[in-house]
């Protein structure tokens, strides 16, 4: 038995490949280092849903179609405005994605083209939900989406009520590209399990969002930023030494799969450094770099091959461009929904109910007391 299914292959996939020994990540054959430097989020979404990289004409049509799906239905916006303003953003996102099925008369249709359309609708409207909740909980009216802005730029416009700087847009777009898919991670696996029952696209994505919410998965980016704030307050070296003495985990260093540096961290580190040079909040990069240097000089991390993962430098990147910490996981979901939905499509194409066995270790032979 392998606890947590560690090392177990449970299905074939053409969506992404993770090589933890080489530190390599591919999306449908394309290296993440290439995609991260040269592709937009929309191009990667098209790739994942259509198994081919778009040409200029295909991309323009795809962008226009997605842009036309960004509006939250009026009846759901009304409900959203009635939610307790203290609700966690990911809980709100999970709830609203689930409720989208209630205004889709064809929600149960899981034929390939219908399922792909639902995936596009969910991916297009998720940034609107995230941004709208940020406005609502601050007592403001949500900002309507703009069809003339690309995905990342439109999100930041709705979030802040004004157009973002090119640097901020580029940072968010890169973030969305880098988080799209990552093998059979916990949330992707949960989406495929839900799909295996022949449930609908909305149910699968709702399941995945709930799985992503945990601090051992999507919530780790927020925890990484919280530790940098704690390190700043206590002094970086003192904070690090106390962490090692008390066994407190250094969030964002180490990965279940990678035994070398996460390739996405290789992109986020210089991105964070460049943003720091243009930001009044640039000290957050300095702090994260200091913590990394202390860790990589420590035998505990050296012996265990523990390096920064995708959460580590993405935390200061998001923080420096003004994303609220409790919205970090929502941005993760805005990206990973592309991977989730592409895996749903793959599961539907060759479906079998996912039903592993459990090893019973409880008592036997008990009788009811007389």
| Residues involved in catalysis | 217, 255, 311
Q: Supply 318's token pair.
A: 């998001």
Burial class of 276 by CB neighbour count within 10 A (0 to 12, 13 to 18, 19+):
buried
Residues with Cβ within 8 Å of residue 224, at least 6 apart in sequence: 251, 252, 311, 312, 315
Tell me how far CA of residue 176 lies from CA of 12, 211, 300, in angstroms: 25, 19, 32
Which residues, 6+ apart, have CB-to-CB distance to 214 below 8 Å? 186
Q: How many CB atoms lie within 10 A of CB 29?
A: 11
Interatomic CA distance for residues 157 and 131, integer angstroms: 9
């Amino acid at each position: 038995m392998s606890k947590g299914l560690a090392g177990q292959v449970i299905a074939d996939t053409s969506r992404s490949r993770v090589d933890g020994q080489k530190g390599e990540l591919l999306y449908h054959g394309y290296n993440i280092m290439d995609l991260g430097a040269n592709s937009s989020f929309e191009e990667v979404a098209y790739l994942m849903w259509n198994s081919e990289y778009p040409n200029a004409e295909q991309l323009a049509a795809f962008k226009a179609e997605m842009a036309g799906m960004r509006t939250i239905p009026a009846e759901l916006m009304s409900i959203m405005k009635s939610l307790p303003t203290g609700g966690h953003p990911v809980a709100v996102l999970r709830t609203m994605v689930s409720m989208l099925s209630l205004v889709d008369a064809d929600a149960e249709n899981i034929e390939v083209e219908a399922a792909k359309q639902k995936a596009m609708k969910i991916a297009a409207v998720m940034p609107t939900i995230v941004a709208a909740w940020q406005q609502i909980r601050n007592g403001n009216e949500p900002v309507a989406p703009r069809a003339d802005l690309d995905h990342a730029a439109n999100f930041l416009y709705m979030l802040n009520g004004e157009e973002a700087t090119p640097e901020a847009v580029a940072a968010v777009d890169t973030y969305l590209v880098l988080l799209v898919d990552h093998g059979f991670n916990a949330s992707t696996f949960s989406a495929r399990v839900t799909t295996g029952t022949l449930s609908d696209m909305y149910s699968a994505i709702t399941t995945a969002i709930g799985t992503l919410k945990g601090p051992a998965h999507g919530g780790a980016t927020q925890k990484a930023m919280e530790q940098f704030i704690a390190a700043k307050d206590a002094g970086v070296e003192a904070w690090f030494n106390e962490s090692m003495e008390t066994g407190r985990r250094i969030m964002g260093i180490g990965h279940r799969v990678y035994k070398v540096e996460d390739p996405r961290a290789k992109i986020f580190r210089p991105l964070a450094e460049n943003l720091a040079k243009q930001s009044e909040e640039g000290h957050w990069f300095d702090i994260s770099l200091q913590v990394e240097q202390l860790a990589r000089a420590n035998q505990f991390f050296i012996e265990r091959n523990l390096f920064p993962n995708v959460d580590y430098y993405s935390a200061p990147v998001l923080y420096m461009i003004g994303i609220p910490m409790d919205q970090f996981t929502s941005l993760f979901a805005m990206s990973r929904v592309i991977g989730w939905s592409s895996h749903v499509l793959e599961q539907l194409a060759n479906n079998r109910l996912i039903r592993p066995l459990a090893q019973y270790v409880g008592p036997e032979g008990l009788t009811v007391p007389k």
